[in-house]
């Protein structure tokens, strides 16, 4: 504990102190009123929202598959989710560059099949960042939903069936509400991790997609503007903790996905 | 084959049209998840210096390029060193923390627990520039030991989750029995409790190792010119795409797969040691 105190809380505290250097709130003023930086903040939140929605659409059926498919398939599925999860983000980003580049595999296939006539810009823009982020964060959506689905009492679904409810109604009125805690945990987790993302936007965005973490890094490394970087960090931290605390309020369960 | 036959015999009647849609959707998502891992394999064996697909010919030159390049090997060794030190330090500290949180009864315990979990939630970039600022003033940037400290902070929550969960389900009476037979408390923990939660400890060490070995942002700020493997890869991706990184990627995928297999054997399958 003393270790965490010395090497975690103290440095972060010192950083946050720098944001009010000289007792002025000028750095916050700049971060929260300058159109350029407000734009970055809004972009970040929007990207995080997109990523959360796409992860949910991709992840919910997969979680159901893992929880309900017959014998060997759940194990196989879990391997397909875990292996990318444990592979370095850099390896995966590099893989996406091979796939998405101008002369990448996907553009090649589309060109040769005659579906498009010019390479489709998939890299160094928002599309690339979204694809990369969804890929990294999808497991964080699948695992909490899967954990909840495994505990759902399938007797309730059978009961609804027995009472003659049509399939869609069973899902909407019975199954989905029962898995909602997992969904909310997954969405929150993905959202929190998204707004602080650095590596993927830095590499797949090609300098065109600036998220707040990228902006913080630029302020420190290129402009040495510590007080502004600290203010941005404080804003990011506040947004993260706010989302986290709202979730903890809603459920008393732990945000533990493992 | 036996498994396939068994599953085919079961519950075929419940297969409905929407199941086919579900399976197809999941198949696509699994393809999406695996695609970037799979594509690095052919590229790493390419004979071309450019990103060409399919490769014009096959060779091992990028593996040779990796092994012959001092900078790559140096970065790999540094990463292994940092990851091993992080594993040791975070397992010890995290296990101690897990004991105090699970067993202890003291004021502010839940705050204590939440503070230890913070590194998982607070964006890494914030922590990175915070320690960067601090260690730059102390002129410690570039020491690998400093990276270990940063990585340990991030590995402790993993250890705490895994070991804490094991300790919660562990029956303390074993430990009390050992103590009533004359073992000291520490000896009882060392000889009785720890062997029984060994699967959890193995998993925790694995998590700590991988989290450090793959970590980029902290290492980027604290490493200075002494690069870890992820930093070297990052620079390589930014500057020029040369298939050496594909060879490194393949080696890393194999390493992770290997560790996953070992852990699934030892981590889960270990019987309580006698």
The CATH number assigned to the domain holding B227 equals: 1.10.3720.10
Residue A4 included in any domain: no
Domain residues for the domain of A63 are 26-250
pLDDT score of B83 more than 60: yes
Say how far apart CA B156 and CA A6 lie, in whole Å: 14
CB A232 within 8 A of CB A34: no
Which residues in chain A have Cβ-Cβ distances shorter than 8 Å to B4? 72
CB A212 within 8 A of CB B140: no
Residue B120 included in any domain: yes
Identify the pLDDT of residue A53: 93
Residue B54 included in any domain: no
Of B231, B190, B101, nearest to A4 (Cα)? B101
CB B72 within 8 A of CB B252: no
pLDDT score of B13 more than 60: no
Quick one: DSSP state of residue B13? G
Count Cβ neighbours within 10 Å for each residue of A88-98 and write b for 16 or more, e otherwise: bbbbbbbbbbb
User: B216–A103: do the CB atoms touch at under 8 Å?
Assistant: no
Residue B57 included in any domain: no
pLDDT score of A250 more than 50: yes
Residue B144 included in any domain: yes
Residue B35 included in any domain: no
pLDDT score of A230 more than 70: yes
Q: How far out from the chain centre does Cα A23 lie?
A: 35
- Please give the interface size between A and B, counted as residue pairs whose CB atoms are below 8 Å apart: 213
Identify the pLDDT of residue A243: 83
Count Cβ neighbours within 10 Å for each residue of A140-170 and write b for 16 or more, e otherwise: bbbbbbbbbbeebeeeebeebeeeebeeeeb
pLDDT score of A17 more than 70: no
Residue B155 included in any domain: yes
Say how far apart CA A182 and CA A190 lie, in whole Å: 12
- Other Cβ atoms less than 10 A from the Cβ of A60: the count is 21
Chain B residues 172-201 with CB within 8 Å of chain A: none
Q: What is the mean pLDDT of chain B?
A: 80
Kindly report, residue by residue over A18-46, the tens digit of the pLDDT. Answer: 666 555 666 666 666 776 778 888 888 88
Identify the pLDDT of residue B3: 43
First-to-last C-alpha distance (Å) of chain B: 36
Residues in chain B: 274
Report the pLDDT averaged over residues B92-109: 81
pLDDT score of B9 more than 60: no
Which residues in chain A have Cβ-Cβ distances shorter than 8 Å to B127? 8, 11-12
- Other Cβ atoms less than 10 A from the Cβ of A68: the count is 16
Q: What is the CATH number of the domain that holds A42?
A: 1.10.3720.10
List Cβ neighbours of A161 (8 Å cut-off, separation of 6 or more). Answer: A170
Of A85, A234, A238, A257, nearest to A187 (Cα)? A257
List Cβ neighbours of B2 (8 Å cut-off, separation of 6 or more). Answer: none
Residue A7 included in any domain: no
Count Cβ neighbours within 10 Å for each residue of B17-33 and write b for 16 or more, e otherwise: eeeeebeebbeebbebb
How many Å lie between the alpha carbon of A160 and the closest alpha carbon of chain B? 16
Kindly report, residue by residue over B131-142, the tens digit of the pLDDT. Answer: 888 887 787 777
Report the pLDDT averaged over residues A46-57: 92
Residue A80 included in any domain: yes
Compare all CA atoms of chain A with the CA of B204 and give the residue at the minimum distance.
A258
Q: What is the mean pLDDT of chain A?
A: 80
pLDDT score of B20 more than 70: yes
Count Cβ neighbours within 10 Å for each residue of B98-107 and write b for 16 or more, e otherwise: beebbeeeee
Say how far apart CA A60 and CA A148 lie, in whole Å: 11
Residue A15 included in any domain: no
Which residues in chain A have Cβ-Cβ distances shorter than 8 Å to B160? none
Instruction: Report the percentage of chain B scoring pLDDT > 70.
Output: 89
Residue A126 included in any domain: yes
Residue A12 included in any domain: no
> Is the torsion defined by CA of A142, A146, A149, A151 positive or negative?
negative
Say how far apart CA B98 and CA B152 lie, in whole Å: 15
How many Å lie between the alpha carbon of A75 and the closest alpha carbon of chain B? 12
Report the pLDDT averaged over residues B184-188: 82
Kindly report, residue by residue over A185-219, the tens digit of the pLDDT. Answer: 888 889 888 888 888 888 888 777 788 888 888 88
Which residues in chain B have Cβ-Cβ distances shorter than 8 Å to A56? none
User: A94–B260: do the CB atoms touch at under 8 Å?
Assistant: no
Q: Which of A192-196, B7-11, B189-193 has the lowest mean pLDDT?
A: B7-11
Residue B229 included in any domain: yes
What is the dihedral angle through the alpha carbons of A140, A141, A145, A147, rounded to the nearest 10 degrees? -10
- Best A1, A2, A8, A224 member to test B by mutation, with max B CBs in 10 Å, is A8
Say how far apart CA A41 and CA A32 lie, in whole Å: 9
- What is chain B's alpha carbon radius of gyration, rounded to the nearest angstrom? 23
List Cβ neighbours of A123 (8 Å cut-off, separation of 6 or more). Answer: A96, A97, A100, A101, A102, A104, A204, A206
Inter-axis angle of helices B70-103 and B144-169, nearest 10: 40
Measure the CA angle with vertex A171, ends B17 and A181; round to 5°: 130
Report the pLDDT averaged over residues B101-121: 77
Residue B133 included in any domain: yes
Domain residues for the domain of B92 are 70-269
Report the pLDDT averaged over residues A152-158: 79
Kindly report, residue by residue over B194-205, the tens digit of the pLDDT. Answer: 888 888 888 888
Of A209, A42, A191, A39, nearest to A127 (Cα)? A209
Residue A13 included in any domain: no
Say how far apart CA A177 and CA B45 lie, in whole Å: 49
pLDDT score of A94 more than 70: yes
Q: Which of A48-62, A103-117, B43-57, B58-72 has the lowest mean pLDDT?
A: B43-57
Report the pLDDT averaged over residues A164-183: 80
Count Cβ neighbours within 10 Å for each residue of B191-217 and write b for 16 or more, e otherwise: ebbeebbbbbbbbbbbbbbbbbbbbbb
Instruction: Name the domain count of chain B.
Output: 1
Residue A151 included in any domain: yes
Residues in chain A: 258
pLDDT score of A255 more than 60: no
Which residues in chain A have Cβ-Cβ distances shorter than 8 Å to B119? 8
Instruction: Name the domain count of chain A.
Output: 1
């Amino acid at each position: 504990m003393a270790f965490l105190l010395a090497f975690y809380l103290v440095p972060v505290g010192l950083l946050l102190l720098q944001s009010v250097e000289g007792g002025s709130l000028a750095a916050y003023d700049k971060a929260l009123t300058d159109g350029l930086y407000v734009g970055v903040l809004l972009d970040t939140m929007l990207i995080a929202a997109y990523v959360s929605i796409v992860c949910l659409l991709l992840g919910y059926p997969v979680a159901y598959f893992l929880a309900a498919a017959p014998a060997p398939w759940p194990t196989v599925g879990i391997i397909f989710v875990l292996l990318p999860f444990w592979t370095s983000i850099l390896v995966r980003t590099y893989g996406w560059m091979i796939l998405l580049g101008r002369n990448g595999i996907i553009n090649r296939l589309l060109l040769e099949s005659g579906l498009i006539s010019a390479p489709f810009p998939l890299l160094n823009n928002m599309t690339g960042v979204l694809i990369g982020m969804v890929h990294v964060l999808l497991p964080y959506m699948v695992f909490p939903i899967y954990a909840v689905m495994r505990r759902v009492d399938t007797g309730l679904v059978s009961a609804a069936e027995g009472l003659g409810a049509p399939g869609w109604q069973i899902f909407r009125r019975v199954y989905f509400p029962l898995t909602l805690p997992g969904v909310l945990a997954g969405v929150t987790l993905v959202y929190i991790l998204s707004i602080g993302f650095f590596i993927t936007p830095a590499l797949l965005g090609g300098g065109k997609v600036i998220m707040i973490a990228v902006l913080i890094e630029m302020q420190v490394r290129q402009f040495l503007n510590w007080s502004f970087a600290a203010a941005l960090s404080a804003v990011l931290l506040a947004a993260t903790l706010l989302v986290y605390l709202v979730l903890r309020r809603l459920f008393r369960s732990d945000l533990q996905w493992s | 084959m036996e498994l396939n036959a068994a599953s085919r015999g079961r519950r075929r009647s419940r297969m409905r049209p929407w199941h086919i849609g579900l399976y197809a959707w999941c198949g696509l998502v699994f393809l999406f998840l695996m695609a970037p891992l799979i594509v690095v394999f052919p590229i790493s064996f390419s004979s071309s210096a450019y990103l060409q697909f399919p490769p014009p010919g096959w060779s091992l030159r990028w593996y040779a390029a990796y092994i012959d390049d001092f900078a790559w090997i140096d970065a790999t060794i540094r990463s292994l060193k940092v990851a091993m030190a992080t594993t040791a330090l975070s397992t010890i500290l995290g296990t101690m923390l897990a004991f105090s949180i699970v067993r202890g009864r003291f004021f502010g315990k839940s705050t204590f627990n939440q503070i230890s979990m913070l590194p998982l939630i607070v964006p890494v970039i914030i922590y990175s520039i915070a320690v960067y600022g601090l260690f730059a003033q102390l002129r410690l940037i570039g020491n690998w030991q400093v990276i270990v400290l940063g990585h340990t902070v991030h590995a402790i929550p993993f250890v705490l989750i895994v070991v804490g969960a094991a300790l919660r389900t562990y029956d303390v009476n074993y430990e009390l029995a050992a103590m009533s037979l004359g073992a000291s408390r520490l000896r009882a923990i060392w000889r009785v409790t720890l062997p029984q939660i060994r699967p959890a400890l193995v998993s925790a060490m694995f998590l700590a190792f991988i989290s450090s070995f793959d970590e980029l942002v902290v290492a980027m700020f604290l490493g200075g010119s002494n690069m870890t493997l992820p930093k070297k890869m990052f620079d390589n991706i930014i500057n020029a795409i040369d298939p050496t990184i594909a060879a490194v990627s393949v080696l890393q995928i194999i390493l992770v797969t290997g560790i996953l297999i070992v852990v699934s054997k030892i981590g889960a399958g270990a019987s309580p040691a006698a």
